[in-house]
Amino acid sequence: MPSDRDAAATGDAGWRRLHPLTLLFALGSRLYGLRGLVLPAGFAVVVSHRRTADGGWSDLDDWLVGPAALLLLFELGQYFTLAYRFDRHEIVIKRGLIWKRVRHIPYARIQNIELVQHAAHRLAGVAVVRLDTGTGAGAEGELSVLSLDAVAELREAVRRGRRDDPSAAAAPAEPEVVTPPGVLVSLDVRELLLHGLLTSRGWVVIAAALGALWQVDLDAWGVRRFLPSGEGVLGSLRQATSTLAVEIALIAVGAALLFRVLSAVWSAIKHFDFSLTARGDELFQSYGLLTRVGRTIPRPRIQKLTISEAPLMRLFRRASLTVDTAASVAERQSQQASGGSHVLVPIVPSTRVSGLIHEVYPTGGDTGAGVDGLAWQGVDPRALTRLLRVRLVVAVIMTAASAPTAHWWALAIGLTAASVITLQAWLAVRFTSFAWSGDTIWFRSGAWTRQVSLVRAARVQVVSLEQSALDRRWGMAGLRVDTAGAASGGHHVHIRWLPADVADALYARLRHAAAP
């Protein structure tokens, strides 16, 4: 392993610098970034020169010289401290004078070499080069700017490095089950209407309608005459019913029904003619009446699969499936918010879920017994006691605190809070469990919307064992599995309240299975 210790100190032996024009481009982009400050400052300088009749230095110039000199010094420092070198297996980039950083990027990990050339870059024959390794952090190696010769050398070095390194060429060595091409799921309108009714996305339609109404000038078009007015609806309700409570209840029920119906229509339009097809190693999704979506999901890219059963969905024995994928470099920029999370199938009979998992995200140890056939393990039996003890203490304190102002109501509020807390804790503990099926970790949680997430060991990025002071007191621990492309707010494998020894064993097993 060649070491850069000596070379880094002396700055010779294979270290390359950026193109000298870097300084110019860096200053240019810095000034452009500060244009909100620079333009007024320049204007002020011109004006102040007009004022001093001799056209010499004004006070303002003295104020501006300092920051400008600092900026120049900073960019000079950046330029002279940044250097890169090609080692046998990796590219090394060092930078910084006060805060030094040496970054090693293995050639095998470089997914993409991105070249950016603005007009000025093209004129000067230079380019900005971004090396992308596909980390979740985003920032990788940026070399700004390099001459085109240096770019060619860099590409060649990366190509040579990848060729010499068999790990770069090796295909994912996983027992992929390649199913013959065929339709995995297709949904008819009836099923889509059911999906809309059960998931209630009516607010999407309401929001869209309100947005449209906002755009339309109702009075000018004379549309308002045909719309029932709010007072009119309320007035006719008043005539028909006696008490306010009944009126409110009727309006609420009516609104809820309207929402469901709108939701059903929305779903039928959005997912119209939905089909999920398998073509070798790729899944193909196609749906939509107005906006037709065709999405290819390479199966090896699927990181995590989540099965969700909302309360009403459960009543009709339906579930929906979501997958997280590792987005490619280009995709990643356009989908920052959602990570790589996609709805794979909006609605599917629960009985078909196990079969679908097997076709979409094949797991090694899965013997076909299905999700319910796995050896599910619950949390620590003392978890409920622990949760209740902590939460009830909080409830008592809050009741006591509100007592002076709320008087006897405080007791009622306290009792209600205590029973809600008890119920919630019981449900949380009752419905949290995990299973290990040879090469896959399964995590189930949620009492109302029940969710199961599964991650194959080969897709585990980081395993962490977590223990708070309270956990230690109770001899418990939590386990978290980090994957690529996970959306914030999604269902993640985070198993809490495990007995410490169980968590330890699971952690050891997972980290061993994740290492190839």
Partner 1 sequence: MAELNRQPLDPRSVTAGRLGGWTFTAILFAVIVGGALAALIGTGAPLVSWLASGAIALLIFGPLALASQLGPAVRYRTTWIRLDADGLEYEHGWIFRHRISVPRSRIQHTDVTQGPYERRFGLASLVVYTAGTEHASIAIEGLSHETALAFRDALLARDPQAGAPDGVGDAI
- The residue within the footprint of partner 1, chosen from 9, 119, 170, 337 (CB under 8 A), is 170
Q: Stretches 12-20, 35-43, 130-138, 145-153: which one binds partner 1 (CB under 8 A)?
A: 130-138
Q: Which of residues 301-340 bind partner 1 (CB under 8 A)?
A: 301, 303, 326, 339
Contact status: 53 vs partner 1 (CB under 8 A): no
Phi, psi of 167 (to 5 degrees): -70, -20
Our CB check for partner 1 shows the closer of 267 and 440 to be 440
- The residue within the footprint of partner 1, chosen from 55, 56, 66, 166 (CB under 8 A), is 166
Alpha-carbon gap, residue 191 to 168, rounded angstroms: 45
Contact status: 352 vs partner 1 (CB under 8 A): no
Alpha-carbon gap, residue 510 to 348, rounded angstroms: 30
Minimum distance of partner 1 from residue 65's CB (angstroms): 25
* Contact pattern from residue 77 through residue 116 relative to partner 1, giving x for each residue in contact according to CB under 8 A and a dash for the rest: ------------xx-----x-xxxxxxxxx-xx-------
Contact status: 140 vs partner 1 (CB under 8 A): yes
| Distance set, CA 33 to CA 28, 30, 36, 59 (Å) | 9, 5, 8, 25
Q: Check if the beta carbon of residue 185 is closer than 8 Å to that of residue 244.
A: no
* Contact pattern from residue 475 through residue 504 relative to partner 1, giving x for each residue in contact according to CB under 8 A and a dash for the rest: -----x-xxxxx-x---x------------
- The residue within the footprint of partner 1, chosen from 48, 265, 467, 502 (CB under 8 A), is 467
Q: Which of residues 267-306 bind partner 1 (CB under 8 A)?
A: 301, 303
Q: Stretches 23-31, 147-155, 212-220, 506-514: which one binds partner 1 (CB under 8 A)?
A: 506-514
Q: What SS3 string covers 133-154?
A: CCCCCCCCEEEEEEEHHHHHHH
Q: Stretches 236-244, 251-259, 357-365, 458-466: which one binds partner 1 (CB under 8 A)?
A: 458-466
Contact status: 227 vs partner 1 (CB under 8 A): no
Judged by CB under 8 A, the number of residues near partner 1 is: 66
| Distance set, CA 427 to CA 302, 414, 423, 449 (Å) | 31, 20, 6, 12
Contact status: 511 vs partner 1 (CB under 8 A): yes
Q: Check if the beta carbon of residue 165 is closer than 8 Å to that of residue 107.
A: yes
Alpha-carbon gap, residue 111 to 100, rounded angstroms: 26
Contact status: 177 vs partner 1 (CB under 8 A): no
User: Among 146, 141, 143, which residue's Cα sits nearest to residue 125?
Assistant: 146
Contact status: 370 vs partner 1 (CB under 8 A): no
Partners of 115 in beta bridges: 129
Q: Stretches 151-159, 349-357, 388-396, 457-465: which one binds partner 1 (CB under 8 A)?
A: 457-465
Judged by phi (left if over 0) then psi (alpha if -120 to 50, else beta), residue 339 lies in left
Partners of 277 in beta bridges: 183, 284
Find the DSSP H helices in 216-347.
218-221, 230-240, 244-270, 311-315, 329-334
Find the DSSP H helices in 165-188.
166-169
* Residues at the site binding partner 1, with contacts judged by CB under 8 A: 1, 3, 5, 89-90, 96, 98-106, 108-109, 133-138, 140-141, 165-168, 170-174, 301, 303, 326, 339, 458-469, 472, 480, 482-486, 488, 492, 507, 510-512, 514-516
